[in-house]
Amino acid sequence: MPKPAKTVDAILCRKGFQRHTGDHVYYYLYVDGKKTAVRTKISHGEKEIDDNLLSLMAKQIKLTKKLFGDLIDCPLTHEQYVKQLRSDGHVAHAEPPRNAR
């Protein structure tokens, strides 16, 4: 089912993505304060994102279309999403804290 672009934008930003504008609006996932290779984009002026584009965006951010829907509709939390990305090898595991000497 199509989703309003403003809704997708707001949810992506709440789920750890940061917005960067250029020729399109790019979204990069940040984990532990570091930019990852996980990214997607929405064209400027896009009002509604159709099913085909939602599928492409899901692939870009390493999710199935169903899980992308869960990310947008909120059952999938940022923490669950990052855990999934880490288990699939798309995002590095957090480094253990260094011992202060």
**pTM of this structure:** 0.86
CATH superfamily of 3-87: Hypothetical protein. (3.30.920.30)
* Residue 21: pLDDT over 80: yes
pLDDT tens by residue, 34-86: 999 999 999 988 999 999 999 999 999 999 999 999 999 989 999 999 999 99
Domain boundaries, the chain: 3-87
Q: Give the per-residue pLDDT at 97.
A: 59
Q: What is each CA distance from 13 to 16, 28, 88, 99, in whole angstroms? A: 6, 9, 22, 33
Length of the chain: 101
